[in-house]
Structure 1
Amino acid sequence: LPLLHAVQDALGHIPADAVALIAEGLNLSRAEVHGVITYYHHFRAEPAGRHVVQVCRAEACQARGAEALMEHAEQALGCAQHGTRADGAVTLEPVYCLGLCASSPAMLVDGTPHARVTADQFDRIATQLKVLT
């Protein structure tokens, strides 16, 4: 896992041509490496947008409005969750527990945590990033 994290941190995703090199270096099959990449939601096989918005979907956040926040994010950003907007400006991803349960609903924007996020707060953050549709 640390190697996959390092590749993704450096490149923004794990390209298909890197899978064979990783597999060879770790003495694993390409299928085993691909299985790990597709199993863990954190890893991407395609590049993310210039900005990455990750909305927590764990139980505590769901109880405090994460579903509505995700729906608002989809409309405000103009892309579905698990997707990147056509212009490449933003990727919207669900994540499962950011460890901010007492301050839910929570999200990460380009790795920066935001807690107790309302639709208005979301719009202010997205406006600062210049990614609102």
Structure 2
Amino acid sequence: MKQAVQVTILGQQYMVKSAAPPEEIRKVADFVNDRLEEVAKASKTVDSLNAAVLALLNVSGSYLRLSEQSPTDQQIEERIRHLLVRLEQACPEPAADGTKKNSQEDIGHDLPSGLRKTDLCSEI
């Protein structure tokens, strides 16, 4: 259900209707107000439209840089799949005769210091 929340940005009051919690709306409004004030002080501009455009450019640039640096869901899933394959290779399931299937002695040589292969392969 949408709620109306009153916020003040650059001395102007706005009524914002949103399904988001009022605290979140106020937090966003405070962020926007802070960015606008930073731009206004730095550029000595009094025109609120120019300040808004410059602040939007600054925030958009920051957002785009962060989104390019952050891994995508697909990249994260691929990394998890890769780690699962390595874990399965390092901890093969026992064969019916009790021996280890696909045993590879060299797996685990690049484990972090203090971590042993047996620490990873203990039964749950």
TM range (shorter): under 0.3
Q: Which of 1 and 2 has greater Rg?
A: 2
> TM-score, length-normalised on structure 2?
0.23
TM-score (normalizing by structure 1)? 0.22
Greater percentage in helix: 2
Bigger relative CO (Cα 8 Å, ≥ 6 apart): 1
